[in-house]
Amino acid sequence: MLPPLRLRAAGLALAAVAAGWWPAQSVAEEPTPLRPVHSWAYQLQGANPTDIAASPFDLVVIDYSHDGTAKEAYRADEVQLMQRKAGGGRRVVLSYLSIGEAEDYRFYWDARWKTGSPAWLGPRNPDWPGNYKVRFWDPEWQALMFGRPEAYLDQIMASGFDGLYLDVIDAYEYYQPGRPTAAADMVDFVLAVSAYAKSKNPDFLIFPQNGEALLKDPRYLAAIDGIGKEDLFYSGDANSYPSSEPELRDSLEQLRGVVAAGKLVLSVEYLTRREHIRAYRIQAAQAGFLTYVAARSLDALIEPN
C-alpha cells in the first residue's frame, strides 16, 4: 500500500467573500486546452481501471502502478481502458510523480542508499515513512526522473498516460534557508521536465501540485497546463485558519492567474462535514476551480453527492 500523499495545509477561507478577496463570478472563460474537462478525481491507492472507466469523471489522477512498484505498473491497455468514458468520449489520465522527495518503494531505489550517499539523498521525512528529502537540483536525481528509457517519466509516457501530476514541488521551501536559489532551482526542474516531455509528445500535460508561489515566475506558468492545490480553503474539517490571511490571499491571487490564463486549477479538500463540502464547492466554483472531495488516504474513488 502506498504511503499517504504528502499534504500541506493552507487554510480555511470562509471569510473570503466578506473580506473582499473573492470574485463574484468566475474570473475567466472555461479553459481551452482542456475544454472537455469539467470534473476530476484523485486516487493514489488501489485504483481499479474498470472502476475508473465506469466513473463520470473527465480527468483522474492515479499512481503509475497498482501498488507503487514497477512489477504492478499499469499496462498500456489498462491506461487505454481508463481513458475511455462509458458514455463515449475521452478521459484524461494523469500519473502521479513525486519529484521533490525520494520514495523507498519505487523501482529506482537502491537498498544500499542512505542519507548523504548518494550525495543528493537527504534525511528521512519524519512525517512520511519511506520518503526522503532530495537535493532536487542535482543532475543525478533528475536523471532518475527523466531523460532516458528507464527513467520514471519515460516509463510513464511509454504506458500511455496523458500527463504528469508532479508532487512535493514545495520541497524548495525546506532548502531555501541555506540555498537562496532553491525556488528558482525547482522552477528550472519543472521547466526541464515539461520541455523534455513535450518534445516527445506536444500534447503531454504537466500539472504540479501546490507550490503556487512559483507561479510568480511567468516561465513556470507558461510551462504547465494547470495546477493541483490541496487544503486551500480548509484543513480537513477544521474551522480556523492554520495559515495567515495574507498567505491565503496570495495563494488565491496566484491560482486565479492560472484560470485567467485558460488553464485548470484542480482543487482538492479532505472533508466529511456536509456544510463544509457545500461551502467549499461554492467558493471554488466562484473562483473557476474544479473541485474534488476526498479522504486523506486517497484510497477510494469518491463521486459527488
What's 98's domain CATH number? Answer: 3.20.20.70
- Is 304 a member of any domain? no
Contact between residue 164 and residue 95 where contact means Cβ atoms under 8 Å apart: yes
Question: What does pLDDT average to over the chain?
Answer: 88
In a domain, 172, yes or no: yes
Model confidence band, residue 200 (pLDDT cutoffs 50, 70, 90): very high
State the pLDDT at residue 291: 97
| Lowest-confidence region among 34-38, 174-178, 216-220, 224-228 | 34-38
**pLDDT tens, position by position, 107-158:** 999 999 999 999 999 999 998 889 999 999 999 999 999 999 999 999 999 9
Q: Which domain holds residue 244?
A: 16-293
Q: What is the pLDDT of residue 111?
A: 96
Q: What is the mean pLDDT of residues 84-90?
A: 92
Q: Is the pTM of this model over 0.75?
A: yes
Total of domains in the chain: 1
pLDDT band at 35 (very low <50, low <70, confident <90, very high): low
- Tell me if 300 is assigned to some domain: no
- For residue 87, with 0-12 CB atoms within 10 Å meaning exposed, 13-18 middle and 19 or more buried, which class applies? exposed
Residue at 299 is within a domain? no
pLDDT at 24: 32
Residue 67 pLDDT > 50, yes or no? yes
- Does residue 85 fall inside a structural domain? yes
Average pLDDT estimate for 68-73: 92
- 269 found inside a domain: yes
β-bridge pairing 101-103 and 131-134: antiparallel
Q: Tell me the per-residue pLDDT of 222-277, one tens digit each, with 9 for 90 and over.
A: 999 999 999 998 887 765 444 467 888 899 999 999 999 999 999 999 999 999 99
Judge whether 154 lies within some domain: yes
Domain contains 214? yes
